[in-house]
Amino acid sequence: MTPKPSPFAGPLEIALRSALSHLGSLDHQPAAASATLSQLRARLAKPLNDSGISPEAVITDLVRDVQGGLLGSAGGRFFAWAIGGSVPAALAADWLTSAWDQNAALFACGPSAAIAEEVAGEWLKDLLGLPTSASFAFVSGCQMAHVCCLAAARHALLLERGWNVERQGLCGAPPLRILASNRHGSVERAVRLLGLGEGNVLDLGLDRNERVTAGVLRTALETAPGTATVVLLQAGDLNTGAFDDYREVIPIAREHGAWVHVDGAFGLWAGASPHFRTLLDGVADADSWATDGHKWLNVPYDSGYAFVARPAVHRAAMSHRAPYLVHDQDARDQIDWNPEWSRRARGFATYAAIRQLGRAGIADMIDRCCRHAATIVEGIGQLPGTEVLWRPQINQGLVRFLDPRAGATDADHDRFTGAVIQSVLEDGDVFFAGTTWRGRRAMRVSVLNWQSSDRDAHAAIAAIGRCLTAQQAKVATSPATSF
Ligand SMILES: Cc1ncc(COP(=O)(O)O)c(C=O)c1O
């Protein structure tokens, strides 16, 4: 008897061909979107169909309709935000994760998924130089890793003050504040989700190297001694890649009974490179750490990791039991550590990325990204009419474009910087994005993709040079401040 053809074969084969064609075109297709909002809506907003459509037709239409609306973020010429690509084994494992469709809530629902995650979690701690005794959770991203870690912090700090937050909630609970170093907006959202209140996040003053100093931290801690406090430190600021001095400040937080949480969305990965590891000296003494796989490890979205130094605290904040659940005495049930119930088996892609690259491959990828960031920033800095605001310490740098007209003001330079970035996006060869840093508009240089090469770095400098020259010519004839 001939076996029945699989209903999956057709759509999966189209998906494979399309994926290979997309990945193969990243080097020569525009890195920016070329389709407009209304074009994409016109193509994708089809009437809700009454009858089904063949899976082959659905996937063929999808591939056609998204054309021009996909950024080149999977490729090596994408230097915006903090976006990594996907190494091939991680992408393939991610596809299989969907095909296997395991519910990675419990060992009982997906034994291999549970073990792959358990193993990958141990490897991550090893690579990042975190304590082997720490617990971990695989979550959707760094923001949810903050939620997980800060839930553990909330549990511990309030329990020390006689309050069981999981049972009693927050109404009437002792106050809790977050003293934050250079903080990313995801911290605010995590704090909001946990009911801690954005108003209780207090920003600490930073020094010129974007670090919290011992004096500033001590003064803040002494302002309301005895208050439940999280000290939030930075490992790789979004704009500058700055790191706090953990050796200096963690002991001060400890003296005051604070919980120390580290946002290392990408910067914690510097710990995987012998060349950059010293930036993280002392970070292992914190209470919790949040990072991402979808940034510098080059695992597909969505992949974040939370680590907590005291597993019992982590588990108390997350675990749940229900009569219908099945638990294995000896296995690791993800529901004990994760905020979700049903969830994707995220461990497979991380497991595959780490195996493909190995310890040396990860270190090499980190080093290459840092080298390319330096090349791009130096190259742009040599173009006339540019200002380097931040030379990369790791993989992040900041540059600014100066309005060439006599008497141009800071506001003109801001506008001119925005115009050059816009023109780079229209040029399409490479992709960058802007930011406001210390009150001035700047372009961020952020390199996290394993595929970025020397050629891509030089293509970036050339594209910026082209667009800058064109914008300089454009404004040269108009009066200052009217640009
Ligand atoms: C420093 C920092 N922290 C946290 C985040 C949030 O990470 P995610 O988008 O994975 O939730 C980012 C994202 O860019 C970041 O750069």
Residues in the chain where the model's pLDDT stays below 70: 479-483
- Residue of 79, 138, 140, 143 to mutate, ligand 1, most atoms within 8 A of C-beta: 143
**Which residues 6+ apart lie within 8 Å of 330 measured at CB?**
none
| Cβ 239 under 6 angstroms from ligand 1 | no
Is the bond preceding 412 in cis, omega lying within 30 degrees of 0? no
Q: Is 90 in the pocket of ligand 1 (CB under 6 A)?
A: no
pLDDT score, position 2: 77
- Give the pLDDT confidence score for residue 128 in this predicted structure: 98
Ligand 1 contacts CB of residue 142 (under 6 A) = yes
H helix or E strand, kind and range, residue 126: helix 111-128
CA of 5 to the centre of ligand 1 (A): 44
Q: Cα separations (Å) of 147 from 107, 152, 288?
A: 23, 9, 11
Q: What's the gap in Å between 370 CA and the centre of ligand 1?
A: 18
Q: What is the pLDDT of residue 161?
A: 98
Query: Which pLDDT score is estimated for 329?
Result: 86
For tokens 């605001």, what's the residue?
A: 389
Distance of CA 186 from the midpoint of ligand 1 (Å): 6
Closest CA to 288 of 266, 268, 270, 269: 268
**CB-based contacts of 233, cutoff 8 Å, min separation 6:** 181, 212, 244, 246, 249, 250, 260, 261, 262, 263, 283, 286
Q: Is the CB of 188 under 6 A from ligand 1?
A: no
Instruction: Please give the distance of CA 396 from its chain centroid, rounded to a whole number.
Output: 13
pLDDT at 483: 46
- The 3-state DSSP class for residue 311 equals helix
State the pTM of this model.
Answer: 0.97
SS3 291: strand
Determine the pLDDT at residue 398.
98
Question: Which atom of ligand 1 lies at the shortest distance from residue 234's CA?
Answer: 1
Ligand 1 contact via 265 beta carbon (within 6 Å) = yes
Residues forming a β-bridge with 433: 444
Q: For ligand 1, pick from 73, 139, 140, 142 the residue to mutate: most ligand atoms within 8 Å of CB.
A: 142
pLDDT for the residue 479: 60
Spatial CA neighbour of 369 closest among 465, 300, 460: 460
CA proximity to 353, closest of 23, 115, 119, 89: 89
C-alpha to C-alpha distance for 435 and 82, rounded to whole angstroms: 12
- With 0-12 / 13-18 / 19 or more C-beta atoms within 10 angstroms meaning exposed / middle / buried, residue 361 is middle
Is residue 83 lining ligand 1, measured as CB closer than 6 Å?
A: no
304 Cβ below 6 A of ligand 1: yes
224: number of Cβ within 10 Å: 12
Ligand 1 centre distance from Cα of residue 281 (Å)? 22
Nearest atom (ligand 1) to Cα of 187 = 4
Task: Set out the domains of the chain in order of their start, with CATH numbers.
Answer: 91-354 (3.40.640.10)
The three-point CA angle 293-296-299 to 5° equals: 40
